[in-house]
Amino acid sequence: MNITIYDVAREANVSMATVSRVINGNPNVKPVTRKKVLRTIEELGYRPNAVARGLASKKTTTVGVITPDISSMFFAELARGIDDIANMYKYNILLSNSDQNIDKEIKLINTMLEKQVDGIVYMGGQIKEEHLQQFNTSPAPIVLAASIDPSQSTPSVNIDFEQGGYEATNLLIDNGHKHCAFVMGTNEATINELKYQGFIRAHEEAGLTFNEDHLYRGDFTYNSGIEAVEKFSKLDQKPTAIFAATDEISLGVIHAIQDQGLSVPEDIEVIGFDNTKLAVMVRPTLTTVVQPMYDIGAVAMRLLTKYMNREEVEEANVILPHQIIKRNSTK
Amino acid sequence: MNITIYDVAREANVSMATVSRVINGNPNVKPVTRKKVLRTIEELGYRPNAVARGLASKKTTTVGVITPDISSMFFAELARGIDDIANMYKYNILLSNSDQNIDKEIKLINTMLEKQVDGIVYMGGQIKEEHLQQFNTSPAPIVLAASIDPSQSTPSVNIDFEQGGYEATNLLIDNGHKHCAFVMGTNEATINELKYQGFIRAHEEAGLTFNEDHLYRGDFTYNSGIEAVEKFSKLDQKPTAIFAATDEISLGVIHAIQDQGLSVPEDIEVIGFDNTKLAVMVRPTLTTVVQPMYDIGAVAMRLLTKYMNREEVEEANVILPHQIIKRNSTK
DNA sequence: TTGAAAGCGCTAACAA
DNA sequence: TTGTTAGCGCTTTCAA
C-alpha cells in the first residue's frame, strides 16, 4: 500500500487536515508544526496523490491541448509556447493529435473533459457547427490557437492572416510583377483561405487580374511546392513570382525552380509564410511573413488561465502583430 | 452540479453498480437493463468522471512523456509515434519539456507520478545516478526512448548509435577520404559520444589517425554546422569530408561550404544523421544515417504497455535497425 | 443478474 | 491554530 496523508498525520501526531494545510501552503499552521510535518513527509517519502486531490477540489491543474499534428514544426512550436506558459502557472499539458479528423477532434474534446481538464487549447484547421456546439457546452473554458472560428464566438489568438497574405502579395506586386502565383494547402484550412483572400485583394487593389492557372492547391508539404512549380512551368504564361502558403512549401518551390536551371530571385521571386527555422535553412534565404507561433501558443495559454481563474478578459479574440522579413528570395 | 453515475442510476431505476457495469462493458448485465441505462445516459448527457474512476481503480489511462524539447523535429517525431500507439491502447499523453535540465527532469517525473500516470516514456540526453534512483523507485514503469542508460538497467528503445557513426564514417573513408571531420553537438549527450566512438573506431580500423582539429563541438543547431565549416576552412589541413551528428547540422555544413564557393560533394562530401525530413529539403540532398524516430517512439510506447499490463517482456533493451540512405551529398 | 456498501486519498467547511 | 467530518464520483467486493 502507498503512503497517504493519513499515514503522515499519524506519524506526525497531527490531523490529516493539518498535513493538507502544510502541503497546500496554507499559512494557518504554526511553524513548529509545519516543520514537524515536513520532516515526516520527508521521512516517509510521502507523495501527494493528485487524482484524489483533483476529485476533492475539482481542479486537476492540467489543460488539454488538441493539435492536428505535433510532428509538424508549426504546431510543435505552438505547443512549446503553450507548455512554457502552462508550466509557469503550474499546469501540465494533456496533448493529443487530431489529424484534423473531425470525429477524432470531437472525441478528443470529450476524453479531455472526462479527464476533468481545467481548460483546453484547441488547434484545428476548420471550426464547424459540431465544434462550436462542443465548445459552447464545455464545462471547461476553451481557447483557440492559430485557428479561426468564423463566428468569432470562441476566445482565440491569431494573427491577421488576410492582411499577411495581402502584404506578401503586395511586396511582389511592388517589385513589378504582374503574374504572381499562389501555392496553397488543402482547402480544409480556413487560414489558408484567408491568405488567399489577401492575395486576391492585393491584386484587385492593384488593378491586376489574377490568372486562375496560377493557383495551385497542394497539401502544405515540401513536395506540394515542387509539384506546383512543375505545373506552372508548363504554362504559356508562367508566373514570375510565387507566394507560398508556408515556408515548407516555399522550400519546395525554390528547389524546383533551381532544379529547372532558373534562379531565385533573379528569374522568379519567392515569398513564404510563417518564418519557421526553415526560412534561413535554404539558399537563397527566404523572405517570409513572420507568424509568431511560440507567442500565439503562449498568449493562448495565458488567456486560458484568465478564463480558468474567472478573471476579467478585455479582449477574447486576440490578434497578434505580424511582419515581413526580407531575405534573399526576393529582390 | 454535474450529472453523476448516481443520477443515472436513479433515473434508470437501477443501482449505481449496474450503471458502472454498463459503462465498463461488463457482460453481466441483462440486455434490456443495459439498453435502459444507455438510454438514460444519453438523455441526461452523462459524462463519466475519469478522475473519480482513477481514484477508485488506481488507473488513469494516461502516460507521462518527458522530452527535452517538443519543438525539435527529432523529438516531435518521437512524440508522434508515442501518441499514436498510446491512442491505440486507449492512453492519453501528459507531455512536458525538460530542456535537458536535470532538476526539471526530476521534478517532472515526480509531478507525473503525483498525477498517477500509469507509466512514463522518458527522453533525455544524459541519464545520471539521480535519474536512475528515480527510475528504480518509481511505482509506475518507465521506458527510455532514444536515450541511453549506460547501466542498461532501465528498459529502452534505441538504435546502435556507435555502429551508425561507424558506418557513416566508413562510407566516407571508403570514398577515399583520409581527412574526415566530425561535427558533434553538446557533450552533454550520450548519444553524441556514441556516434563519436563509432567515428573513431572507423578511423582505427582503417589505420587512419584522426586530427583533433577536425572535431567541432557545437550545439546541434544549423548554425553549429556553419561555424564548424568556418573553423575548418582556416586550417592548413582542411577536411575533405564531414560527418555531422544530425541532419540540421548537416544543412548548416552544406550551406557554409557552398557559401565559400565550394561544392558538395565534389569538393567536400557530407553525411548526416537522423533522416529527418530536412534531408531531402536541401540541394544536394543529404546522405544520412536513418534513425526511425517515429518507430522508436511507437516501440517504446508499446513496450511500456507491456510493463503496465504486467506482460512478459522478452527483451527490455530494444535495438531497432538502422541504415544509410545515399543521396547526393556524397559521391 | 443486480444491489448494498465500503473504500480510493484528498479538500474544505465547520467547530473547537 | 488545529481537528472532525462530510463528501468528491467512481470501482469493487460481497451478498442476495
- What band does A187 get if pLDDT is binned at 50, 70 and 90? confident
- Show residues of chain A in contact with B80, CB under 8 Å: 69-71, 97
Distances (CA, A) of A169 to A35, A269, A285, B44, B200: 66, 11, 18, 52, 52
Closest residue to D2 measured CA to C1′:
A18
Q: Is the peptide bond before B239 cis (omega within 30 degrees of 0)?
A: no
Asked if residue B17 keeps its beta carbon closer than 7 A to nucleic acid strand C, the reply is yes
Supply the pLDDT for residue B41.
Answer: 95
Query: Could you give the percent of chain A with pLDDT greater than 90?
Result: 98
pLDDT tens for each residue of A312-328: 999 999 999 999 999 99
CB atoms within 10 A of CB B194: 20
Which positions of chain C lie under 7 Å from any protein Cβ?
1-5, 7-13
Asked if residue B29 keeps its beta carbon closer than 7 A to nucleic acid strand C, the reply is yes
Asked if residue A49 keeps its beta carbon closer than 7 A to nucleic acid strand C, the reply is yes
Evaluate if residue B1 carries a pLDDT over 70.
no
Average pLDDT over residues A22-41: 93
Evaluate if residue B187 carries a pLDDT over 90.
no
CB atoms within 10 A of CB A114: 15
Evaluate if residue B327 carries a pLDDT over 70.
yes
- What band does B2 get if pLDDT is binned at 50, 70 and 90? confident
**Closest residue by Cα to residue A16 from A43, A42, A2, A37:** A37
Average pLDDT over residues A29-42: 94
Query: Could you give the percent of chain B with pLDDT greater than 70?
Result: 100
Closest residue to C9 measured CA to C1′:
A52
User: Is the Cβ pair A95, B93 closer than 8 Å?
Assistant: yes
Mutation target vs A (from B61, B63, B115, B117; most A CBs, 10 A cutoff):
B115
What is the reported pTM? 0.96
Pick out the nucleotide with least CA–C1' distance to B24.
Answer: D11
Per the CB < 8 A criterion, the answer to whether B4 and B49 are in contact is yes
Average pLDDT over residues A90-114: 98
Supply the pLDDT for residue A188.
Answer: 83
Residues 8-27 of B with CB under 7 A from strand D: 16-17, 20-21, 23-24
Residue A100: how many CA atoms within 13 Å on its side-chain side?
13
Q: Which residues contact A91 (CB under 8 A, 6 or more apart)?
A: A61, A62, A63, A118, A305
**How far is A202 from chain B, CA to nearest CA, in Å?**
30
User: Is the Cβ pair A93, B96 closer than 8 Å?
Assistant: yes
**Which residue type does A82 have?**
I
Residues 51-70 of B with CB under 7 A from strand C: 52, 55-56, 58
Closest residue, chain B, to A77 (C-alpha) = B71
Closest partner residue to B283 (CB to CB) among A93, A97, A255 is: A255
Closest partner residue to B111 (CB to CB) among A60, A92, A248 is: A92
pLDDT tens for each residue of B251-268: 999 999 999 999 999 999
Supply the pLDDT for residue A1.
Answer: 63
Supply the pLDDT for residue A174.
Answer: 97
Query: Could you give the percent of chain B with pLDDT greater than 90?
Result: 98
Strand-strand pairing, A317-320 and B92-97 = unpaired
Cell of A3: 503512503
pLDDT tens for each residue of A209-243: 999 999 999 999 999 999 999 999 999 999 999 99
Supply the pLDDT for residue B225.
Answer: 97
User: Is the Cβ pair A83, B94 closer than 8 Å?
Assistant: no
Distance separating alpha carbons of residues A117 and A113, to the nearest angstrom: 6
Evaluate if residue A2 carries a pLDDT over 90.
no
Mean pLDDT taken over chain A: 96
Nearest-10 crossing angle of helices B31-44, B16-23: 90
Distance separating alpha carbons of residues B97 and A213, to the nearest angstrom: 45
Evaluate if residue A147 carries a pLDDT over 80.
yes
pLDDT tens for each residue of A243-289: 999 999 999 999 999 999 999 999 999 999 999 999 999 999 999 99
Closest residue, chain A, to B252 (C-alpha) = A281
Closest residue to C7 measured CA to C1′:
B56
CB atoms within 10 A of CB B90: 9
pLDDT tens for each residue of B130-142: 999 999 999 999 9
